[in-house]
Amino acid sequence: MTPGILGLSHVSLSVRDCDAAKRFWVEVLGFEVFSEEPTHCFLFDRAVGLAVIISDHDRTVSGTFDEHNVGLDHLAYAVPSVEALLSWQQRLATLGVPHSPIVETDAGHHLNLRAPDELAIELYVMKPEFAAILGLADDAVPVAATHG
C-alpha cells in the first residue's frame, strides 16, 4: 500500500534576488512574509495554506528559469472562478505585470505570467465538466472547489 499524501506542503524556489522575488510574491500574489533571513524568505498564503520559500543560496544562484530544461515547467495556482480570473487580469494590468490574455481550453480558463527570474506561473480555473472527468467531488477536494 502506498503511504498517504495530504497535499502540497510548500514550494521552494531558487532565485537570484530575494528582495525582488519577495516583492513579487507579496505585492502581486498577496503572500505574507512569515520569516526572513539574509539568504532566504518564508512566505505564506493563509487563505490556501501554501508556503513559498525563496532562497538565493548565499548569492550563488545564476541564470533565469527556463521551462525547456528538465525540471519544473510552471506553477499553476487554482482560481475560484472566471470572474476572479478577470479580476486577476485587471490587477496584473494595474500593477504593470506582463501577462497573457485569458485562454479557454477544454479543461478550463487560464492566464500566464512570469515571476522574477522568469519563473512561469499560471492562474487556472478548472471547468466543472473536467473536474467531473477527473472524479473530483465539489466538496471533497480543494481543487474541485476552484472550478466555480
Q: 137 and 77 in one domain?
A: yes
Q: At residue 53, what is the residue type?
A: I
Average pLDDT over residues 55-77: 89
103 vs 132, more confident: 103
> Considering the chain, what is the average pLDDT of its residues?
87
CATH of the domain at 34: 3.10.180.10
Q: Provide mean pLDDT across the span 24-44.
A: 94
Structural domain tally of the chain?
2
Cα 20-60-11 angle, rounded to 5 deg: 60
Is residue 43 within 8 Å of residue 33, measured between CB atoms? yes
66 is a domain residue = no
DSSP states along the chain = -PPP--S--EEEEE-S-HHHHHHIIIIIT--EEEEE-SSEEEEEETTTTEEEEEE-TTTT--S---TTSSS---EEEE-S-HHHHHHHHHHHHHHT--BPPPEE-SSEEEEEEE-GGG-EEEEEEE-HHHHHHHT--TTTSGGGGGG-
| Res. 137 pLDDT band, cuts 50 70 90 | low
- Per the structure, the complete domain to which residue 131 belongs is given by 73-148
For residue 131, being part of any structural domain is answered with yes
| Co-location of 80 and 145 in the same domain | yes
Q: Where is average pLDDT lowest: 4-8, 28-32, 72-76? A: 4-8
* pTM of the predicted model as reported, rounded to 2 decimal places: 0.82
- Confidence (pLDDT) at 36: 93
Assigned domain for 17 exists: yes
Same domain? For 54 and 22 the reply is yes
- Does 81 score more than 60 pLDDT? yes
The reply to whether 148 and 77 lie within a common domain is yes
- Residue 141 shares a structural domain with residue 101: yes
pLDDT at 122 over 90: yes
Cell numbers found for residue 106: 477544454
